[in-house]
Each structure stands twice: as structure tokens, then as C-alpha cells.
Amino acid sequence: MSDATPETMYVTTTLRGGGAERLLTNILLPQRAPERVSVISLLPGGVFRPMLENAGIHVADLGMNRRR
């Protein structure tokens, strides 16, 4: 068996600054292996994105917009 910890991916609508996004950020920032965590946001940008990236967490967005 491998000792490697599986990678974890979190998917969120946005990282723009709501309570759920703040909670996710607070949970992820103290991670011991941030390179094994990914966050996917449906909408681009957000106030929490730079904090997560500076902590070494991979953040990507799908470039969607709010219009239907």
C-alpha cells in the first residue's frame, strides 16, 4: 500500500467573500500539505483566492458568469 495521502478537491460557486467561503478558507489555511489540496471555483476571482494561493493551495476557476 502507498503511504501517500489522497488529494482533496473542494468545489465552490465563488470565493468572493461569503460566510461559506470564509469557513472553507479558515479550514484550508492551516493544512500541513497544502500542495495536496485543490479548490475549484465556478466563478473567477474572489477575495479569498489570493490567500489560498499564497498558502500553496492550487486554485482554479471555470470562468463561468452569473448570467444564465
Look up residue 65 and give its DSSP letter: -
Q: What is residue 30's predicted lDDT score, i.e. its pLDDT?
A: 94
Which has the higher per-residue pLDDT, 1 or 37?
37
> Which tops the pLDDT comparison, 4 or 24?
24
**DSSP codes of every residue in 12-40:** ES--SS-HHHHHHHHHHTT-S-GGGEEEE
Interacting residues of 35 by C-beta distance below 8 A, sequence separation 6+: 56, 57, 58
The predicted structure's pLDDT at residue 65: 87
3-state secondary structure of 68: coil
pLDDT-derived band at 1 (thresholds 50, 70, 90) equals very low
pLDDT digits (tens, 9 = 90+) for 23-64: 999 999 998 898 899 999 999 999 999 999 999 999 999 999
H/E stretch holding 41: strand 37-41
